[in-house]
Amino acid sequence: MAAKLQEHSKILKEFVLTAEKQEQRKQFYAKKTEQLTIGTLHSGKREQTEELAASEPEKFISHHVKSLTGHDPHSTPTLNASYRGIDETAQRLYGSHFVENGRDVLREEEFPEVSPEFQETFLGHTSPITRCRFSASGNNIASASVDGTVRIWTYDSSIPATRNATIYCGAEIMSLDWECKSDRLLLIGTADGGIKAWNVDAKRVVCDLSTSEAFPNVLDLKCSPVEPIFVSAASSRRPSSNSIDSLGYASLTVWNMKTWKAMTVLPLGEDPPAITSLCFNHNGKILAASATDGMIHMFDMSAGLQITGWPAHDSAISSLLFGPDETSIFSLGSDGKIFEWSLQNQGRLLWSRTCSWFSEYETSKFCRDEMALDANGRQLLVTSGSVRGPIYQVRGHSNGLRTLPHNAAVTTVDWHPTLPVFLTGSADNSVRVTSIL
């Protein structure tokens, strides 16, 4: 028993990168961002080549956004009054600032607005957006909505539109993930237990899987960054309109992407609370999973066993991310609390914030809240009940930023894998690509 514990401890330590590797990675991302520039996008509709296309064309709005010193076409006093009220209520309840670690910290409504280099809005969906994801290369975007459609598109006019497609899944989309290595496969999880694998080059579904009838909701999907496998997190009940805690029990299944068959079910104990979010470390040896009881679980994927876990939140956890150097892990609670936990000293809290916009989120029936880290691991973008999403400066001296407004709540977010470009999907049916200076 002692030998096994030592082995698992060794495996857990292996995935924590050294300080030297961490610095190399930061230098690489900094150099990459400096070298790569994004050209100006042109206004107008984009030519598309689509299989299973909808009858109406995709719609894009592309424009250069002027700096904050100029006129901002989105900053208008005529935004939906109910969403304006959310910001006012938040400020009344929480005030404009608070003290954290001995310094004043602004509330989200006082964050300065981002200063975009450009912004493009995709209007091809007809219902609220549940998930949006950049592909591993960043060249393609997949966005999904409540009406059961997934759209694949690109925001850069220099990228061919040959992969553009509309995929009809017949049920609400709850999860999306791109296969990491080939950049050709998109996994789609639905509210009726379906898992589809879409080949973006062949433009067809190459595999259509189903979870067991006892676990019909595919809450998350994650592909290994190394092995041809993916993991699905499914729950026993459909989410209610007001609580993530109604998700029931969990099933965590490992699938082979060559045979498209289930390999194993990861152990979670008897009647385990639903798993809401998954993330692999850089070499695929460790899988982290968050649950509705506030627990974080860590699995050794080679052994298929849980090696550690700890209670991280008093509420359900809706999103989980490894830090950029993988010496820490971020968790987002359903109560809006964001924690960064040390993996070198388990249980030690490195950083925390509470999103004051979070508690007003009225569209939780559409999807679970989530967060995304930029390539440098310094900016954390979070979904919001407001028309804007907050961008926190992780362990930084500045307070953060806020996105330009949608016309409804921000329901899903993602960052480009290498560039300072982020996605926001909204309950107003739109997806927006924003490049910041």
Which are the contacts of 191, defined by CB distance < 8 A and separation ≥ 6?
171, 172, 173, 174, 216, 217, 218, 238
Q: Look at residue 344 in the predicted model and tell me its pLDDT.
A: 92
What is the spatial distance between Cα 325 and Cα 25, in angstroms, rounded to a whole number?
8
Pair of tokens at residue 4: 């096994």
Residue 431 near residue 410, CB atoms below 8 Å: no
Spans of the chain below 70 pLDDT: 1-106, 109, 238-246, 357-367, 397-398
List of E strands, 236-336: 250-256, 261-265, 275-280, 286-291, 295-300, 305-311, 317-322, 328-333
Q: Are 360 and 319 in contact (CB under 8 A)?
A: no
Query: Would you list the DSSP string of 338-399?
Result: EEEEETTTTT-EEEEEE-TTGGG---TTT----EEE-TTS-EEEE-BSSSS-EEEETT-SS-
What is the residue type of 360?
E
How confident is the model at residue 69, as a pLDDT?
29
The confidence score (pLDDT) of residue 13 equals 55
Q: What integer pLDDT is reported at residue 105 of this predicted model? A: 54
Q: Which residues of 84-94 are buried (b: 16+ CB within 10 A; e: fewer)?
A: eebbeebeeeb
Residues 294, 277: Cα–Cα separation, whole Å: 12
Could you give the CA distance from residue 225 to residue 205 in angstroms, rounded to a whole number? 21
Q: What does R_g of the chain's alpha carbons equal in angstroms? A: 21
Q: What pLDDT is recorded for position 241?
A: 47
Q: How far apart are alpha carbons 394 and 397 in whole angstroms?
A: 9
Query: What is residue 288's predicted lDDT score, i.e. its pLDDT?
Result: 98
Q: What is the per-residue pLDDT for 57?
A: 39
Residue 42, burial from CB neighbour count under 10 angstroms (0-12, 13-18, 19+):
exposed
Cα distance between residue 409 and residue 384, in whole Å: 6
**pLDDT computed for residue 246 by the predictor:** 64
| Residue 273, pLDDT score | 93
Domains identified in the chain and CATH numbers? 2-436 (2.130.10.10)
Q: Is the dihedral of CA 255, 365, 153, 113 positive or negative?
A: negative
Contact 292, 268 (CB under 8 A): no
Task: Determine the pLDDT at residue 91.
Answer: 33
Per the structure block, which two tokens stand in for 136?
A: 């591993």
87 with 360: CB under 8 angstroms? no
Answer whether 425's CB lies under 8 Å from 411's CB: yes
Give the pair of three-digit tokens for residue 224: 């290994």
